[in-house]
Amino acid sequence: MSRFTYAGRSLLELLLILTIGLVPMVSGLLVMMYQLERKLEENAQVSVQEAIFAIDRVLDHLQMAASSALPLAGQPCAQALGPLERLAAGDPRIRSLVLTRDGQAYCSTIETTSSYSPSFYSPNAHIQLNFNSPVTPNGVVVELRLTYANPGVIATAYGLELRNELRGFQDGLVLLVEFGNKYLWSSGDSRDAQRPSQSEFFRSAMSSKHGYMVKGGYPEGYTTQEFRQSMLQILPSLALVGLLTGAITYWGIFRSRNKGRHAASPRG
């Protein structure tokens, strides 16, 4: 066998060993990437539904408070205010209860220097976010009214109640709750200059009870970041498997070569 032939054969064997050694590493990374994408996709889908359940629970509570105060609607404020205040004070999650007549507030558990008559963005809307409450400057107030009742009741809660529910999802997913053209998420709202990124594995669903939207998604670049972190954890193990696979392949080639030499040598 000439030197060139031997060198070429050795190079091919080396390339074969390297290729076989890389197969477990490449396969492992591909499987990990597939599993990561499936995990993020399923988590986005499930989390959106769970967020609707959690937000519905807060709004159901507001609706129950408004319904409890409805018998007071239409009564003079001097007569209704005491029982109304006791209803509001009995639950720390209720910010205020407001009695209305023909869409105008005439009695509230919170004293204001100006009239407090929330204007809803749609005649059919019964829940909205208020960023301009006179007693909560720069804050967020959730307002719920009983659209079927006149005189009626508006029950309010702090936006923090919704944010606390969203903060329970601490896995990188950005969840946004949208009421009409206003929205909030765990650390901001629609007054911010930029909407949060939700470009990866975006999902959305509407509450069948209260008509708001929940939108969920991971920020741009999140999948790549998670893949890098997972790769750093699993790469040493994959490299070890690849090294052992390459070593076994080399041993097989070495034994095969030795057998060939013995078979080709002249017998005495």
Domain 61-161 has CATH 3.30.450: yes
The average pLDDT across 5-25 equals 59
pLDDT tens digits along 141-159: 999 998 787 899 999 999 9
Cβ-contact 239, 25 below 8 angstroms: yes
Kindly report the CA angle at 191 between 190 and 195, in degrees rounded to 5?
45
Nearest by Cα to 135 from 154, 117, 111:
111
Residue type, 154: I
Give the whole-angstrom CA distance, residue 194 versus residue 187. 12
Give the whole-angstrom CA distance, residue 90 versus residue 72. 16
Do you find a cis peptide bond into 266, omega within 30 degrees of 0? no
The DSSP bridge partners found for residue 189 are 184
Q: What is the pLDDT of residue 49?
A: 96
Global model pTM greater than 0.95: no
